[in-house]
Structure 1
Amino acid sequence: MIDISVAIMHHPRRADRIPALVRACAPLDPVVVPDPEPDGRPSPLRTAKRAWAAVGRDATHHLVLQDDVRLVPRFAEQLRDAVRGRPRHGVSLFCLWHTPHNSYLVRRAAVAGEGYAPLSPREWTPTQGFVLPARLARELAEYLAGIPDEVQDDDEVIAVFCRERGVPVVATVPHLMDSGHERSLVEGHHNGLRAAVHTPGRPWTAGAGTAELPPGPYAVQLYDSVCSVRPTYGDPVEHQFPWYWYDACPLTGLDPEAVLDAGAPYLSRSPDRLLPTMTAVWAAGYLLGADVGGLAPALAGPGPLTPVALGSWLDQGLSERDARAGGGLRADCLRLADAAVRRGLRDRRRTDVH
């Protein structure tokens, strides 16, 4: 039996949100945990300490929500299903669309048609909505109590806790919430606090369940209309200097010229001024598809959430200039990215078979 207690981390500036958020949790009955120093330096960790300590006496699991999230319809029902499928895991209900590693892992899961995306143990844990087994939640509360509030970010500390205790963390795909789409109370945390894969009208399911994809040695990034590859080991997560995809392509096991050759029939239709952008979109989609194809060779085609995953990738990954270009550029990029994923998936699968 799954019995989930809920705590909402709350800042008084957002008091108007609490009634709707509490209603959206029904029939779960959340405890609202206010920031004990609302006029002090912003520190999610300060409130998280108390929220993780608010585990229900008879609860099997404990969920901590931040007060700037928007839950999907029938949230409690989908939450129970997601926790029931991974009762010993940490379960994140949300992942930001531009995180260096985890957003890519979520998009991989979407292409594979999976309901869970195993997350990186080295990147900060998405804590906008995070569930732990009750025993681990109580241990986490004790662990956080010894961390100074000045550390500020609970997501980084929780990542260390889960890594040290060997707690596997997954994200639901699609996510069970989205952000409030506005500036965070924490300095520097703003401009695009949106979900990687969010479809509020499409209920979460466990997915195909045939190819849960663990984190690999690299992640593909699309940012400022440039495709890059980020190694997942050795480099600090926060660094801003990923490798240009062509130069780093050997890390993916692919020949960059073969990637370009596969895209030539599609890219030949692009105007010269758009060719750099369209090439980046093609490379990103192809590398994503090939990655999934290598890990799930039995997969017949991209999962139904692939357009959503690619759409959010483009929305955070196109440059401001390209985003303002109009003329159907986003739609063209989305069609190209979809074709690239399918081609990469097919080419890698065919290569592995032979």
Structure 2
Amino acid sequence: MRTAQVAWDTVTPGASHQLVLQDDVDAPDDFLDLVRRAVLRHPAEPLAFYAHWNSRNGAAVRLAALSGASWVRCLPEEFTPTQAICLPADMAGAFRQYANPSTDRRDDEVLSSYLRCIRRMSLVAVPNLVEHSGAESLCGNDSEGVRRSPCLVTSTGAVAALGHGWVLEDTVGLPYMRRGWAHARVAGPDGILGDRGHTAWQDALPYLGLDAEQMQRLVRTHRPRDLAEAVERWFGSHFTSEFWIYCLLLGRQARLLTRPSIPPSPEVRAAALATLGVSSLPPLERTRLTPDQGALLLEFTRSGLRGARYA
């Protein structure tokens, strides 16, 4: 937060917006032009151009990518990705004042706290435009290992939709993986949506319009046995079971949200699927993943999405 405060204090007088980049991101050559265009589309919004691939916001980016949305609203219960973020100048000034007395060293948590106060969480670009390039962390996140984008595409065609595509605002029902377990963003046992709690997929089924017997039938009927056995040999039975359920729930939510008149971009969809398996693994296993294992996880991912047609 101390380092971020220095950056946020450098706003140019008369500027309409302020863009802050962390020093360990890679961006395309035309990144500033893309930011300008995004600002013209959403002049009053905080805009993020990256999300952590194993966060709930990263899961929201994937859901948006599979649904055909070009932006997705950050979740209020999670940190705001600050690797590459742009705020309207007046909002940036208000955030500096809000952050001054904070003793929290995590700028992403402080920014989330501020945005919750003003009831305007940031929008994240789908696809992401920058990549996180390292594993080191000033705030102790080294144990998370490599922290990549869930959906990185910088080609002209893929990013064109940022200027006109639809915004996914409602992520109730969002499936995500957390520490090897499949979850869904629904009102938990305490009836609260938007706190720090996590709802296991089994407990989320009534909120998603599904039941345990139906899920068992889907697994039995539509999970390819040969693929599941191969994944199990490499990554264990627990991961195999939880990950396929996650893919099925993700595919189901995407089908419910997709607008027939605005189909998902094949390139953006492919980028989102390519990172889904590896980001769901424990940090150490991500670094050991071979190309053959990656291809196996991708095919297993696709089988879960196909199973969603019957859910």
Question: What's the TM-score bracket when you normalise by the shorter of the two chains?
Answer: 0.7 to 0.9
* Higher deviation after alignment, 331-340 or 206-215: 206-215
Change (3 A) 1:330 1:243: farther
2:287 maps to 1:330 = no
Could you say which residue in structure 2 is the equivalent of 1:314? 277
- Alignment partners' CA distance in 2, 1:314 and 1:339: 12
TM-score if structure 1 supplies the norm length?
A: 0.73
Could you say which residue in structure 1 is the equivalent of 2:174? 219
* Higher deviation after alignment, 218-227 or 322-331: 322-331
Deviation at 1:92, TM superposition (A): 0.5
Q: CA offsets, 1:88-109, max 9 Å, x none?
A: 110011111111x211111111
Q: How does 1:91-240 map to 2 (within 5 A)?
A: 91-99=47-55, 101-147=56-102, 150-189=103-142, 190-201=144-155, 203-206=158-161, 211-223=166-178, 225-231=180-186, 233=192, 236-237=195-196
Counterpart amino acid of residue 70 in structure 2:
G
Q: CA offsets, 1:268-303, max 9 Å, x none?
A: 333647265443333112111211222335367654
Is this contact kept in 1: 2:53–2:149, CA < 8 A?
yes
Is this contact kept in 2: 1:73–1:200, CA < 8 A?
no
Change (3 A) 1:166 1:246: closer
- Alignment partners' CA distance in 2, 1:243 and 1:337: 22
Q: CA offsets, 1:176-229, max 9 Å, x none?
A: 211122211222345122112112446523359665322433432235554333
Q: CA offsets, 1:135-176, max 9 Å, x none?
A: 1111112222232xx410111111111111122411011112
Q: 1:267 aligns with which of 224, 227, 242?
A: 224
TM-score if structure 2 supplies the norm length?
A: 0.82
- Alignment partners' CA distance in 2, 1:214 and 1:172: 13
Change (3 A) 1:54 1:325: closer
Which is richer in helix?
2
Change (3 A) 1:323 1:222: farther
Rg comparison, structure with higher value: 1
* Higher deviation after alignment, 271-280 or 77-86: 271-280
Specify every segment of 5 or more residues in structure 2 that has no aligned partner in the other structure, as ranges: none
Counterpart amino acid of residue 287 in structure 1:
L
Counterpart amino acid of residue 304 in structure 2:
A
Is this contact kept in 2: 1:307–1:334, CA < 8 A?
no
Q: How does 1:223-302 map to 2 (within 5 A)?
A: 223=178, 225-231=180-186, 233=192, 236-237=195-196, 242-263=198-219, 264-270=221-227, 272=229, 274=232, 276-296=238-258, 298=260, 302=264
Change (3 A) 1:243 1:58: closer
Specify every segment of 5 or more residues in structure 1 that has no aligned partner in the other structure, as ranges: 1-44, 349-354
Counterpart amino acid of residue 89 in structure 1:
E
- Alignment partners' CA distance in 2, 1:215 and 1:61: 26
Change (3 A) 1:153 1:165: same
Is this contact kept in 2: 1:63–1:129, CA < 8 A?
yes
- Alignment partners' CA distance in 1, 2:101 and 2:179: 40
Counterpart amino acid of residue 285 in structure 1:
C
Task: Give the secondary-structure state (helix, strand or coil) at the position aligned to 1:221.
Answer: strand
Task: Give the secondary-structure state (helix, strand or coil) at the position aligned to 1:206.
Answer: helix
Counterpart amino acid of residue 268 in structure 1:
R
Could you say which residue in structure 2 is the equivalent of 1:52? 8
Change (3 A) 1:257 1:84: farther
Change (3 A) 1:170 1:298: same
Change (3 A) 1:154 1:299: same
Identity %: 25
Task: Give the secondary-structure state (helix, strand or coil) at the position aligned to 1:270.
Answer: helix
Task: Give the secondary-structure state (helix, strand or coil) at the position aligned to 1:160.
Answer: helix
Is this contact kept in 1: 2:28–2:154, CA < 8 A?
yes
Deviation at 1:255, TM superposition (A): 2.7
Greater length-normalized contact order (CA 8 Å, ≥ 6 residues apart): 2
Equivalent pairs, count: 297
RMSD of equivalent CA atoms: 2.9
